[in-house]
Amino acid sequence: MKTRRSFVALSSALTGFREVDLWGTGQADSYLGELIATVGEDVVARLLAAGDDLASGDPAEALGRLLRDDELGPVAKNVVVLWYTGAWRPLPNEWRSRFGASPLDVGRVISPSSYRSGLVWKAIGAHPQGANGPGFASWASPPTVPSAG
Amino acid sequence: MTSWSPEDLRGHLQTAVEIEWTTIPPYLCALWSITEGRNELAATCIRDVVLEEMLHVTLACNLLNAVGGSPRFTPRDGQPSPVPSYPTFLPHSDDAFRVGLRPFSAKALKTFRKIEHPAGGGAPPEGDRYATIAQFYEAVAEALADLAPDIFTGDRSLQVDSSYYYGGGGEAFAIHDLTTANEALDVIIFQGEGIDLSIWDPDRDVFGEQEELAHYFRFDELYRERRYVEGDTPATGPTGGPILIDYDSVLPMRPSPKADDHPAGSGLRALTDECNETYSTLLVQLEEAFTGRPARLIESVQTMTRLRYESIALMNVPLDDGSGKNAGPAFQWRAPSGG
Amino acid sequence: MGQSAHRPVGRLSEVADYDIVIVGAGPVGAILARVLGSAAVGSEPLRILVLEAGPAVGRTWSDYQANVDHYLGSSIKVPNAPWVSSAYAPSPDVLDVRPLTPDSIPDDNGYFVQYGPLPFESDYVRAQGGTMLHWLATSLRMVPNDFEIRSRYGHGLDWPVSYDELQPYYERAEWELGVSANVEDQEYLGITFRDGYHFPMSRIPLSYLDEHVAGTVDGLTVTLDGEATELLVSSTPQARNSTPNPGYRPIGAHGAEHMGLRCEGNSSCIPICPVQAKYSPLKTWGLVSRHVEVRTQCVVSKVIYAGSAPDAPVAALEYYSYTDGLPPPATPERVTADIYVLAGNAIENPKLLLASEPTPNDNIGRHLMDHPYVLSWALMPENIGAYRGPSSTSGIEVLRDGAFRKDRAAFRMEVVNWGWDFITNSPFSDLESAVDKGLYGAELRAEIADRVPRQFRFGFLYEQLPDPGNRVFLNNGYVDALGIPRPCIAYDVDDYVRKGMVASQGLSESLFAALGATEYTRYSDSKPGYVTYDGWPFNFVGAGHLAGTHCMGTKRSNSAVDSFQRSWEHENLYLIGCGSMPTVSTSNPSLTMAALAFRSAEAILDDLGVR
């Protein structure tokens, strides 16, 4: 539970969505599981430890440092992509040669439900293509973009 | 046998609107708690019942408008709030059972059966403290017959028909006399409880649809995990093949949540407030749709869709209390902030 | 309708297995099965067999949902993504298409064997329901002049049937498919309607974006090739459930009739409507008499003729009945009928005929046409609500006809609601590049929210003229898993089309300017569909509108079939579908195909003497 909470807290800071919105997708466990399976527990532990530090210092500074980190930065970026798209994208080749390639590090949609939960659609005031249809004639109304909560 | 004044009848038809509406959030909670793609038969069944209940709401509003009333979905005009607060008894019922907001479960199905329970043979019409919804509508039918034709004074432009109502469960139609009023009552009563003593609902006769079980029996077959087949009766119960029900593929929502379960300023409080506001927007739009702006029904369907996604989001959020349960939609009135 | 020129075939024999065998359970097969299946000889329904090469994909609601899940879980959401094809009845996929070079020809990557010089980029679906499982549902009528291209503009071929003759069948097609449109929006370029006619449903509401574009574009006068035209953004007729008009009840999902009674805006008409609010032939199949026998996973491999004379009637069909996962069947089965209908598509129909006869009618396989589809894209100055609603709900139709067609292709212009989706893989690519720039949190959200909803594009569909060199042919060196020859395709896009592209490019630039939009169009010479004209580069893709390969005409020397889509040579053989279209003009062809199918169904009943 502690790991899940750390994962969601860090993901919230990275994605710009409230923790409650991330829990609301129902994907937290699945994403954390995929992340651990793909990059290993040690990398995830270091990533989450860096996340736990956010609370203590200047979060913007700490996040900037995390994203620039050679090892953890690309993983953190992939966590953002995961939440926004519901899909894992392969880590850069350079990362794989330095920190180890994983057979699971291939581009894939985690599941139909993760695709439906992609945050990118929410961020643009739309809905995932093929799911969560907003109702007849909804496309005729003026667009709105939800503000970051 | 009571003799109702036109005002009594309008009051009872407002109750009818409230009874029908009260059943909808509990059905929605059960439906939305089911993991997408699992328990498909149950999901289809509940979804179809919800659509038919929406048709009943529409027909009840048409009835009320036909007799010169004005349907209320929101607290207004100093009247008692028509918004149900769960768990609740059915409005003006004999208070035999409470209806709460629950995830899909055997307990929920038991309640759904009670809601849709057929009137026993010879149960008298009852406008108040009724045991079954059928008794209530029988009382309405008697009053309508008594007061017709003079009672049909309503503005015909307020009637909502199938150009705006859609989604199955039959078609909405305008009501302007005793014949159309009785047709509406028949649809409401029989979709719920079956034609006379049959287990089948009347859609096939009235709307030319495929044969369907009446609501009570659809919930009964889910509860008993066995299908009804041709030839079955209320006495035999379902004798068909088994139904696979997976109560574990359900979001574990804590029953009948409220916004103030969560401290002010918390994420869950914010999300619950947002969801309540969406629900209240839906009520405003429905009220507008049934008081002269029928095109609002189109928007209300969009709002219902938004309510669904917000409710499912809540049902995915684990509670902090160590119960292993999740949050859920509260279906409480929260005046929309506009915009 | 006019009387059939042929003598009635009659019920030839009691010994035939069926009265009618239909090859293909797509849209044409469904319409024929619906009409013919309700006909009877005395009290006996006609004996009809439908053979479908592919699988059944939507017998029940949950069957169908498996396709939806397959699509949602796919990494690359191409039109065929939901529809898993069988190894024994492969379908072409847009992912198979690669740029062709003289050294790479023939390129046999995938199902097609591409002989170039340009790749044929359209796909199709071999399954019950056919390619209209993944169509957009655009249901335009052709304009009257489209039927008379040779007389008016000096090329192509006139149709042997006029707009006026086809009009009652257009009505039947519109009611069968459930088209949402308002008559007053559709009366342009000579298109007329019967007095008092209404579509089954009111038009699909225009998108916010449509209204925004119309606000600027409507009334603008553009001069192209010396012709001045006042532009108008028109609501597109779409076979998708909307508000019903009197006399029509929307048809919901196959197997879940309460679902899909209105379009819910899932925005995935292509490749799959998750609630089935969009018409697919599965809806018609749901209404077909149960006396009609449908066998899926049966690939017809050969038409057997009664003797070797060029005009011998068809005597039987050979087909392979397979099961996925098992070895291929060793021997084909045979079936006989009084009337045979090939209702594959403009590639599968000629493929089968070419495999069956040494010297078929010379038009078989020739004149392959499509609508080369070119996009231009831009960022609007403000949020226009991209990525909401069906892919396209309006278009500019007034440029579909004019004297310019003597010199260059006409085009129709789609106003597109889906931003830059498959052009740049948006919105995912926008998100990834923002993340890679180092953005996160609220700034990341703001960047995405600012940029993506402003994405806008026009889509242009050009008429392609019939060219005998654009053709389907066979080479026995290339066969599928059942040993059946695969389609070899020679394809090019001529200067007539390319001049149309140049005209549309100029128009697109001026409209973007009028809209205050910043153009981002970039055509690349590394794309498969790369062409140039006069130094202007373009990328085109296929529209999936395969047509022309068994064209209809007035005589055997200029066509493969008559106006009822009956083979000139083989009196009991019909070739029905877009392959019969002598010219493709600019309208998406499905509605016309459906109208022609209704007309042919009547001719078949006449042949059998049961009408």
Q: Give the pLDDT of residue B120.
A: 64
- Model confidence at C6, pLDDT cuts 50, 70, 90, reads very low
Sign of CA dihedral B124, B128, B129, B135: positive
* Token output for C452: 């993506």
Q: For tokens 């609220």, what's the residue?
A: C442
Tell which phi-psi region holds residue C409, choosing left (phi > 0), alpha (psi between -120 and 50) or beta: beta
Task: Count CB neighbours of B233 within 10 A.
Answer: 13
Element (H, E) at C41: strand C40-41
Sign of CA dihedral C207, C213, C215, C219: negative
Q: B163 contacts in C (CB within 8 Å)?
A: 243-244
Give phi and psi for A138, each to the nearest 5. Answer: -60, -30
Q: B305 contacts in C (CB within 8 Å)?
A: 264
Question: Hey, are the CB atoms on B302 and A137 less than 8 Å from each other?
Answer: yes
Give phi and psi for B171, each to the nearest 5. Answer: -110, 145
Q: Give the pLDDT of residue B231.
A: 86
Q: State how far residue B270 is from chain C, nearest Cα, in angstroms.
A: 18
Q: Give the pLDDT of residue B198.
A: 66
Worst-scoring range by mean pLDDT, B155-169, B245-259, C283-297, C342-356? B155-169
Which of B166, B209, B301 is the closest to C257 by Cβ?
B209
Give phi and psi for C51, each to the nearest 5. Answer: -110, 120
Convert the pLDDT of each residue in C54-103 to its tens digit.
999 988 888 999 999 999 999 999 999 999 889 999 999 999 999 999 99
Which of B36, B305, B318 is the closest to A135 by Cβ?
B305
Q: A137 contacts in B (CB within 8 Å)?
A: 298, 302
Which of C274, C385, C446 is the closest to A130 by Cβ?
C274
Question: Hey, are the CB atoms on A143 and C445 less than 8 Å from each other?
Answer: no
- In this predicted model, which residue has the larger pLDDT, A48 or B203? A48
Q: For tokens 């609010």, what's the residue?
A: C277
Question: Hey, are the CB atoms on C75 and A81 less than 8 Å from each other?
Answer: no
Q: Give the pLDDT of residue B192.
A: 66
Q: Give the pLDDT of residue C226.
A: 87
Instruction: Work out the mean pLDDT of chain B and round it to a whole number.
Output: 89
Q: State how far residue B317 is from chain A, nearest Cα, in angstroms.
A: 5
Which of B36, B37, B302 is the closest to A135 by Cβ?
B302
| Distance set, CA C405 to CA C145, C153, C202, C503, C538 (Å) | 11, 6, 32, 12, 20
Cis (ω within 30 of 0) for the bond into C106? yes
Question: Hey, are the CB atoms on C266 and A116 less than 8 Å from each other?
Answer: no
Question: Hey, are the CB atoms on C268 and A89 less than 8 Å from each other?
Answer: no
Rounded Cα–Cα distance for residues B47 and A72 (Å): 46
Q: Give the pLDDT of residue C2.
A: 36
What's CA A80's distance to the chain center, in Å? Answer: 3
Which of C62, C69, C257 is the closest to B168 by Cβ?
C257
Which of B298, B317, B318 is the closest to A136 by Cβ?
B298
Worst-scoring range by mean pLDDT, B309-313, C1-5, C365-369? C1-5
Which of A23, A134, A136 is the closest to B317 by Cβ?
A23
> Residue B181: CB partners within 8 Å, gap ≥ 6?
B63, B66, B144, B148, B152, B175
Q: Give the pLDDT of residue B167.
A: 67
Q: Give the pLDDT of residue B338.
A: 59
Neighbours of chain B (3+ CB pairs under 8 A): A, C
User: B182-186: long-range contacts at Cβ-Cβ below 8 A with a sequence spacing of 24 or more?
Assistant: B182/B141, B182/B144, B184/B59, B184/B60, B184/B62, B184/B63, B185/B63, B185/B137, B185/B140, B185/B141, B185/B144
- In this predicted model, which residue has the larger pLDDT, C371 or B232? C371
Question: Hey, are the CB atoms on C61 and B44 less than 8 Å from each other?
Answer: yes
Question: Hey, are the CB atoms on C250 and B166 less than 8 Å from each other?
Answer: yes
Order across the sheet with C314-321: list the strands: C298-305, C314-321, C333-335
Question: Hey, are the CB atoms on A87 and C75 less than 8 Å from each other?
Answer: yes
Which of B40, B163, B168 is the closest to C252 by Cβ?
B168
Q: Is C208 on the interface with A (CB under 8 A)?
A: yes
Residue C127 has pLDDT above 90, yes or no: yes
* Token output for C268: 């995935």
> Residue B260: CB partners within 8 Å, gap ≥ 6?
B269
Strands (DSSP E) contained in C292-447 are 293-295, 298-305, 314-321, 333-335, 337-342, 373-379, 392-396, 411-416
Which of C262, C442, C452 is the closest to A148 by Cβ?
C442
Rounded Cα–Cα distance for residues C414 and C435 (Å): 32
Q: Give the pLDDT of residue C24.
A: 98
Convert the pLDDT of each residue in C22-50 to its tens digit.
999 999 999 999 999 999 888 889 999 99
The answer to whether B33 and B103 have CB atoms below 8 angstroms apart is yes
Q: Give the pLDDT of residue B166.
A: 74
Question: Hey, are the CB atoms on A137 and B267 less than 8 Å from each other?
Answer: no
Sign of CA dihedral B184, B190, B192, B193: positive
Give phi and psi for B248, each to the nearest 5. Answer: -85, -25
Report the residue of C67, C72, C258 to disrupt the B interface, i.e. the one with the largest count of B CBs within 10 Å: C258
Angle at C437 between CA C434 and CA C438, to 5 degrees: 100
Q: Three-state DSSP class for C70?
A: helix
* Token output for C266: 């899932």
Question: Hey, are the CB atoms on A136 and C242 less than 8 Å from each other?
Answer: yes
Question: Hey, are the CB atoms on A24 and B304 less than 8 Å from each other?
Answer: no
Q: A134 contacts in B (CB within 8 Å)?
A: 302, 305-306
Q: C445 contacts in A (CB within 8 Å)?
A: 15-17, 123, 148
Convert the pLDDT of each residue in A54-103 to its tens digit.
878 888 899 999 999 999 999 999 999 999 999 999 999 999 999 998 99
Convert the pLDDT of each residue in C585-598 to its tens digit.
999 999 999 999 99
Residue whose C-alpha is closest to residue C573's, from C1, C22, C2, C18: C22
Q: Give the pLDDT of residue A1.
A: 56
Which chain B residue has its CA at the smallest distance from C256's CA?
A: B44
Q: Is B163 on the interface with C (CB under 8 A)?
A: yes
Residue whose C-alpha is closest to residue C287's, from C125, C175, C179: C175
Q: Give the pLDDT of residue C588.
A: 97
Q: B37 contacts in C (CB within 8 Å)?
A: 65, 69
Q: What percent of chain B is modeled with pLDDT above 70?
A: 91
Rounded Cα–Cα distance for residues C140 and A26 (Å): 43
Report the residue of C431, C433, C455 to disrupt the A interface, i.e. the one with the largest count of A CBs within 10 Å: C431
Worst-scoring range by mean pLDDT, B154-163, C226-235, C291-300? B154-163
Q: B40 contacts in C (CB within 8 Å)?
A: 61-62
Residue A33 has pLDDT above 90, yes or no: yes
Convert the pLDDT of each residue in C484-506 to its tens digit.
999 999 999 999 999 999 999 99
Convert the pLDDT of each residue in B72-116 to its tens digit.
999 988 888 999 999 999 888 888 899 999 999 999 999 999 988
Q: A77 contacts in C (CB within 8 Å)?
A: 435-436
Rounded Cα–Cα distance for residues B144 and B5 (Å): 10
pTM score of the predicted model: 0.94
Rounded Cα–Cα distance for residues C325 and C337 (Å): 31
What's CA B191's distance to the chain center, in Å? Answer: 12
Give phi and psi for C302, each to the nearest 5. Answer: -160, 140
Give phi and psi for B274, each to the nearest 5. Answer: -60, -45
Q: Give the pLDDT of residue B196.
A: 52
Residue B13 has pLDDT above 50, yes or no: yes
Residue C3 has pLDDT above 50, yes or no: no
Which of A15, A81, A112 is the closest to C69 by Cβ?
A112
Q: What percent of chain A is modeled with pLDDT above 70?
A: 98
Q: Is C252 on the interface with A (CB under 8 A)?
A: no
Question: Hey, are the CB atoms on C452 and A124 less than 8 Å from each other?
Answer: yes
Residue C424 has pLDDT above 70, yes or no: yes
Q: For tokens 């090939």, what's the residue?
A: C342
Q: State how far residue A36 is from chain B, nearest Cα, in angstroms.
A: 21
Rounded Cα–Cα distance for residues A125 and C208 (Å): 13
Q: Is A26 on the interface with C (CB under 8 A)?
A: no
Element (H, E) at C519: strand C518-519
Q: Is B268 on the interface with A (CB under 8 A)?
A: yes
Q: Is C325 on the interface with A (CB under 8 A)?
A: no
Convert the pLDDT of each residue in B110-122 to its tens digit.
999 998 887 666 6
Rounded Cα–Cα distance for residues B133 and B16 (Å): 9
Q: What is the CA radius of gyration of chain A?
A: 16
- Model confidence at B133, pLDDT cuts 50, 70, 90, reads confident
For chain B, helix (H) and strand (E) counts, in that order, are: 9, 2
* Token output for C605: 């009943």
**Number of Cβ pairs < 8 A linking chain A and chain C:** 159
DSSP states along chain A: -HHHHHHHHHHHHHHSS-HHHHHHTT-HHHHHHHHHHHH-HHHHHHHHHHHHGGGTS-HHHHHHHHHH-TTHHHHHHHHHHHHHHSEE-PPPHHHHHHH---TT-S-EE--HHHHHT-HHHHHTT---TTSS---TTGGGSPP--PPP-
Task: Count CB neighbours of C307 within 10 A.
Answer: 9
Task: Count CB neighbours of C192 within 10 A.
Answer: 14
Q: Three-state DSSP class for C361?
A: coil
Convert the pLDDT of each residue in C325-343 to its tens digit.
999 999 999 999 999 999 9
